[in-house]
Amino acid sequence: MNVNVSVAVLINSNQQVLLAQRPPKKSWEGWWEFPGGKIEKDETSVDALYREIYEEIGVKITQFTKWVTRKYSYGGNDVTLHFFKVQKWEGEVTSKEKQKLVWTYLQEPNVSPILPANQFIQKAFDLPKYYAITNLSETSKKVFLNQLQKKISDGLEMIQVREKNISFNEFKIFSKEVIEICKPKNVKVIINSDVNLAYEIKADGVHLTSKDLLSIKVIPKNLIVSASCHTQEEADIAENLNINFLALSAVKQTLSHSDIKPIGWDKFQKIVNKINTPVYALGGLGTNNYEAALKNGAIGIASQRSIWQ
């Protein structure tokens, strides 16, 4: 049996989210979750969002963003969760079903236990829609740095510095130049593969190659850690290491890895739904594929080419 559920992540002016406790005699009694409920026959996920939130907590949603869709299996049932970020509503949040409600910071929740399906949101909540990857091999540094500044003005929030065709010294200089542009704008800079360099130049994080992933035993501290994955096995390793997020590729054919057979959206979705780590879709994708990525369980798009256009 497949059940579809609309889930609301309500965000207040203090950037806290609303959690509700499942009442007695319901499955998972006492566990905490985001408000929401089953999508009825002939209802859209948005219809169910409006209805369920009004019935459960007495508010009328006025502004929301459709977010990630994830599939889980519980006791023989397949559950598809349609997550929405809800920024504005009318009325006062009230317990309409005698459930306990609490506003809490998601990264340090003051209640437990939280439903396993909702724990994924703790990692995914603050991650941006796009994970941009540098591509100096197809442009000049001057042109690229101008593109970077423009994209930051357009809202870019995170970038990976990845250049395989330049010397270490050139890579270090380029990485510093990227950080110089990004830091004042609070744009996160992730260094590809080199943990020591990430620490030395005070980057925000390090991106592990799939080869790095297979050899690393403990993830570096005080850094955002992401990883490249191509198979279920690699995604499972990333999950067990408790990294922040991963990029799963190649969804479609790419210029840079033309020898790699694309996995396609179906296989992508199967891998994503078996882990609780946030995933960016990578490989032959651009910003126009964002909705498809969300539908298939990704939190966004990683891109080396089309994102700079």
The CATH number assigned to the domain holding 112 equals 3.90.79.10
Q: Does residue 85 lie in a domain region?
A: yes
- Token pair belonging to 153: 């003005």
Q: Residues 167, 197: one domain?
A: yes
Residue 188: both structure tokens together: 């996160």
Q: Which long-range contacts (CB under 8 A, 24 or more apart) does 227-232 make?
A: 228/282, 229/271, 230/260, 230/263, 231/271, 232/270, 232/271, 232/274
Give me the pLDDT at residue 48, please: 98
In whole angstroms, give the CA distance from residue 190 to residue 210.
Answer: 16
Residues 161 and 258 in one domain: yes
Q: Is 202 left (phi over 0), alpha (psi -120 to 50) or beta?
A: left
Share of the chain above pLDDT 70, in %: 98
Q: What's the pLDDT tens digit per position in 208-256? A: 999 999 999 889 999 999 999 999 999 999 999 999 999 999 999 776 6
132 vs 2: which has the higher pLDDT: 132
pLDDT at 86 over 90: yes
Same domain, 161 and 27: no
**What mean pLDDT is predicted for residues 102-127?**
90
pLDDT above 90 (res 73): no
**pLDDT score recorded for residue 54:** 98
Q: Are 54 and 60 in contact (CB under 8 A)?
A: yes
Domains contained in the chain, number:
2
**pLDDT number for residue 135:** 92
Confirm whether 125 is domain-assigned. no
How sure is the predictor about 181, in pLDDT bands with cuts at 50, 70 and 90? very high
Please indicate, yes or no, if residue 124 is contained in any of the structural domains: no
CATH of residue 246: 3.20.20.70
Write down the pTM of the prediction. 0.94
**Burial annotation 38-56 (CB, 10 A radius, 16+ → b, else e):** ebeeebebeebbbebbeeb
Kind and range of the H or E run holding 293: helix 290-295
Q: Provide the residue range defining the domain that includes 30.
A: 2-119
